Amino acid sequence: MRKKLTSLVLALVFTVGLSGVSLAAKCKGEVVKNEGGEMVIKLKGECKANAGDSVKIKVKHAAKVEGC
């Protein structure tokens, strides 16, 4: 009985975790303007984000080449 209950709980946790990840949208874009607390981003392609949505931004730095 205990193994069945543990299996059920783990299955539910796994299902809830996957549903949270599937709700996240991935959009790519470029920062056009950054002034104080406001940032304007030009998105590439279609994105399901609307004005007022909460977002998390991950910055990718371009590779730098150093010379002599």
For 24-64, how does the pLDDT look when each residue is reduced to its tens digit (9 = 90+)? 667 888 889 888 888 888 888 888 777 787 878 887 777 77
Could you list the residue range(s) of the whole structural domain that residue 29 is in? 2-44
39 part of a folded domain? yes
33 part of a folded domain? yes
- The answer, as to whether pTM is greater than 0.75, is no
30 part of a folded domain? yes
64 part of a folded domain? no
Residue type present at position 20: G
Give yes or no for residue 4 having a pLDDT over 70.
Answer: yes
Q: How many domains does the chain have?
A: 1
Q: Which residue has the tokens 């299996």?
A: 7
Backbone angles phi, psi at 5, to 5 degrees: -65, -40
What number of CA atoms fall less than 13 Å from residue 4's CA on the CB side?
1
